[in-house]
Chain A
Amino acid sequence: MIAVRRILGLLAGIAAVIGLDWAGRLGLNPYIYGVLVLCAINVILALSLNLVNGITGQFSIGHAGFMAVGAYASAAYTVYAVPLLFGPGYASSAWLTAGAFLLAILVGGLASAVAGFLVGLPSMRLRGDYLAIVTLGFGEIIRVAILNIDAVGGARGFAGVPQRTNLAWVLGGAGITFVVIRNLMKSFHGRALLAIREDEIAAEALGIPTTRYKVTAFVIGAFFAGVAGALFAHYLYLHTNSFTFMKSIEVVIMIVLGGMGSLTGSILGAILLTALPEVLRFASSLRLIIYSLLLIVLMIARPQGILGRRELSFPKRRAPEAPRPTPAS
Chain B
Amino acid sequence: MQEFFQQLANGIAWGSIYALIALGYTMVYGILRLINFAHGDVYMVGAFAAYFLARALGVGTITSASPLMAALVLLGSMVICALLGMAIELLAYRPVRRSSRITALITAIGVSLFLENAGILVFGADPKFFPQVIAPRTITLPGGVLVTNHQITVVLVSVVLMVGLTLFIQKTRTGKAMRAVAFNRDAASLMGIPTDRIITYTFALGSALAAAAGFLVGLTNPKIEPLMGIMPGIKAFVAAVLGGIGSIPGAMIGGLLMGISEYMVVGYLSSTYRDAIAFVILIVVLLIKPAGLLGRNVTEKV
Contacts and interface: CB of A to CB of B under 8 A. Distances in A.
A136 B230 CA distance: 14
A296 B279 contact: no
B102 A59 contact: yes
B251 to A, nearest CB: 14
Interface stretch (B51-59, B152-160, B270-278): B270-278
Nearest to A61: B105
Nearest to B117: A288
Given A296-B114, A303-B100, A303-B103, A130 B35 contact: no
A286 B121 contact: yes
| Chain B interface SS verdict (over half) | helix
A295 B110 contact: yes
Interface residues of B, number: 44
B161 interface: no
A30 interface: no
| Chain A interface SS verdict (over half) | helix
Interface in B238-287: 238, 241, 245, 270, 272-273, 275-276, 278-280, 282-283, 286-287
Interface in B131-170: none
B279 A299 contact: no
B283 A295 contact: no
Interface residues of A, number: 42
A129 B107 CA distance: 16
A201 B272 contact: no
A79 interface: no
Nearest to A289: B117
Contact of A249 (B109, B245, B270): B109
B113 A288 contact: yes
Contacts of B29: 129
Interface of B: 29, 33, 35, 92, 95-96, 99-100, 102-103, 106-107, 109-114, 116-118, 120-121, 230, 234, 237-238, 241, 245, 270, 272-273, 275-276, 278-280, 282-283, 286-287, 290, 300, 302
Interface of A: 59, 122-123, 125-126, 129-130, 132-134, 136-138, 140-141, 144-145, 147-148, 155, 201, 245-246, 249, 252-253, 256-257, 260, 285-286, 288-289, 291-293, 295-296, 299-300, 303-304
